[in-house]
Amino acid sequence: MPIDAPHHCVPVPHDRRSNMQNQMIDADLPSDGLGRDGARALRLIERIESRYGLAPSRCCGAAHSVVASNDSLAAGHSPPKVEVLVNDALLAKIFQCERAEEDLRNSKKKLHDLLAHHRLIKEEERKRISREIHDTLGQNLLALRLDISTLHVRSSSRHPRLHKWVGSALDNLDGTIKSVRALIADLRPFQLDLGLEAAVEWELIKFTRTSGIACNLAKEGKMEADTMTDEQTLTLYRTLQECLSNVSRHSQATKVDVVIGMAPGEFWMSVSDNGIGFDPGAPRKAGSFGMLGIGERVSALDGEVSVSSAHSQGTTVTISVPIASR
């Protein structure tokens, strides 16, 4: 990486340069006091910061430490050689920052990929459990209901007490079957097989029934389910669920408006409530992962999330993801 150094800075051999850098970087130096060549070195630092877009908080702390060592290092050296020492040590710090940034980017990407893989495995497991419950427990309960229904009919005339008991057992069994069906639907709603639009409508109906919060659904553009992959459909449906869960737990809202739209190459969805709102810039509370989870899900689809909210003015979450154009 070239450095815009003063014209009188002389080259330093690589092995000697490394020793200087180590000496400068590893020293435990004070952060105050700029040394006798401080003003000249600071001008060099400012040019490097300006040229490479480095914020002062990124390199100036290290640079000040470098400059502070000039008094001891400059003994017996000419000013040009001292500037080379300062320049070289600062360059090493810049490379060090760049390597740290690259390591951080790689680490974030690995974490992002791991979370996406975890979500995929989780959804596959939910799908498998849903299928197993439907094919085994669901079928066995239906067979049991047929037997109890037969007993209920045949005991009606000759065994009134048994008939009453069997009727009560039949009611309990019907409640169990209903709970099992709800569990299957929660694990993986069959409406997803009909497309995202059908799944959104069904989810809003269910949400109104369980929470008492009125929901309105509006559509913009022509919904074409075959332009979205199964992963996109499922991820957006789970994102809607998370938004509605946040509304029911935190917003104190009485109404939710959902808008879904599709345009060439893009799908978007907004979820708005008339609740108490919050400050999107405030630090996240410990144990609160709602918006973080939404951001991670949408990011896995290369999409974007924006949040608009203010106290007593409700909240709007807008999601957009790229889709295949027809």
Q: Tell me what the pLDDT averaged over the chain comes to.
A: 75
* Residue-wise pLDDT tens digits, 257-279: 999 998 888 899 999 999 998 88
> What residue type is 285 in one-letter code?
K
Ranges 28-37, 169-178, 179-188, 315-324: which has the least confidence: 28-37
- Residue 92 CB partners (closer than 8 Å, separation 6+): 21, 24, 25
Q: Strand 214-220 relative to strand 266-273: parallel, antiparallel, unpaired?
A: unpaired
Question: What's the confidence (pLDDT) of residue 39?
Answer: 54
DSSP secondary structure string, 8-77? TPPP--HHHHHHHHHHHHHS---SS---TTHHHHHHHHHHHHHHHT--HHHHHHHHHHHHHTHHHHTTTS
Element (H, E) at 217: strand 214-220
Q: Which of 51-65, 208-222, 289-303 has the highest mean pLDDT?
A: 208-222
Question: What's the confidence (pLDDT) of residue 325?
Answer: 62
Q: Which of 74-78, 95-99, 302-306 has the highest mean pLDDT?
A: 302-306
Task: Name which residue leads in pLDDT, 89 or 52.
Answer: 89
Question: What's the confidence (pLDDT) of residue 58?
Answer: 42
Ranges 3-7, 130-134, 180-184, 224-228: which has the least confidence: 3-7
Cβ atoms of residues 271 and 290 within 8 Å: no
**Closest by CA position to 52, among listed 23, 109, 89, 95:** 95
Residue 28 clears pLDDT 50, i.e. is over it: no
